[in-house]
Amino acid sequence: MGFVNRKWLKFLLGMSPLLFGGLSLFWGAYGISPLLTAKILLSKVFFLDATPAPELSIVWEIRLPRVVLSGVVGAALSGAGVALQGIFRNPLVDPFILGLSSGAAFGCALSVAVFPQFPIQVAAFLFSLVASFSTYMLARTQGEVSRLHLVLSGIVVSAFFSALVSILKFLVDPHKLVSIVYWLLGSFSLADWRAVGVVSLSMLAVSFPLILMRWRLNALSMGEDEARALGIPVERDRLLFIGAASLAVGSAVSVSGIIGWVGLMVPHLTRMLVGPDHRVLVPFSLAVGAAFMIFADTLARNLTAFDLPVGIITTLSGTPFFVYLMKRGAKESWGK
């Protein structure tokens, strides 16, 4: 690919969240003309108030927070995915490898089944972090925290929390079971500005170290011995990236439920487009993750009269993508 073309590609990838977000704002169940949508956005930005109530409410209170939230969650999952794939040196790692999704699912089930006064979002967030922390501590019982121990601990912790979720699903009445199942499918149907605020804050706290230290991912992805030879404190940096990824994914999952494939697929896609250098890969993965999630959620709310769980769309689109990836050869995309 020529230099100019590559520049244009990077420009397009960087702008993709704005592009998809802008288009998504004009497409919804309630027919609002693009002109009126633009007018509403401008009136809110410039503190004017000259638009009718239902349209204003739909664009500003329903569509925009949903677009922003899906973008932030997509960026969180993708960013966490690229960081974890880098430190684990494994292209099949996704953000849920540390047991985050099972922990969050248990938090949700516990809130629905036993503590209805405790918000699902808070419980899901807390237990996703508990699961991640447990994985790390379990890996440490062998002394040094190696990649293999972390992956195995993640599997153990995931299985443990999955079993607890199964017990609760078995014990709750069918009506409560529906709540748990809906939540596990992942959706932005109840997105509002409060949720945007919560996730954006934790994303800000996580993105800065991820972006500022992204070059260290290059060293970590070469292998532990090589990284140490370069003077990288491997265990400390790994803990930092895992902590950041857990915080980002935990807060994302708490507001959207479990949305699979994004953290696995988007880093691969971006790696194919911009190469394996994490200095470039990390920021573009964040952008492409946001754009992809906005696109998937726009389809989820517009394809049918129903509001489909977005997790279904991401999984349906992820499967053929991986078939394509396998045919093309994963090594090529991993940069080896």
41 CB-near residues (< 8 Å, 6+ apart):
25, 59, 60, 64
Nearer to other proteins, 112 or 245 (CB): 112
Nearer to other proteins, 160 or 182 (CB): 182
Nearer to other proteins, 34 or 116 (CB): 116
Closest approach, Cβ 289 to other proteins, in A, equals 23
Closest approach, Cβ 305 to other proteins, in A, equals 6
Q: Which whole-number Å values give the CA distances from 67 to 80, 153, 317, 336, in the listed order? A: 20, 35, 19, 36
Q: How many CA atoms lie within 13 A of 328 on its CB side?
A: 14
Question: Distance from CA of residue 148 to its chain's centroid?
Answer: 24
Closest approach, Cβ 36 to other proteins, in A, equals 14
Give the DSSP H/E element, type plus range, for residue 81: helix 64-88
Closest approach, Cβ 311 to other proteins, in A, equals 13
Give residues in contact with other proteins (CB under 8 A). 28-30, 53-54, 56-58, 61-63, 112, 116, 170, 173-175, 178-179, 182, 187, 189-190, 192-193, 301, 305-309
Neighbours of 191 (CB within 10 A): 23
Please give the torsion angle defined by the CA atoms of residues 107, 199, 308 and 271, in that order, rounded to the nearest 10 degrees: -110
Nearer to other proteins, 57 or 90 (CB): 57
Closest approach, Cβ 66 to other proteins, in A, equals 9
Closest approach, Cβ 109 to other proteins, in A, equals 13
- Tabulate helix, strand, coil % of the chain (nearest 5): 80, 0, 20
Nearer to other proteins, 278 or 301 (CB): 301
Nearer to other proteins, 234 or 308 (CB): 308
Q: CA 55, CA 31: separation in Å to the nearest integer?
A: 9
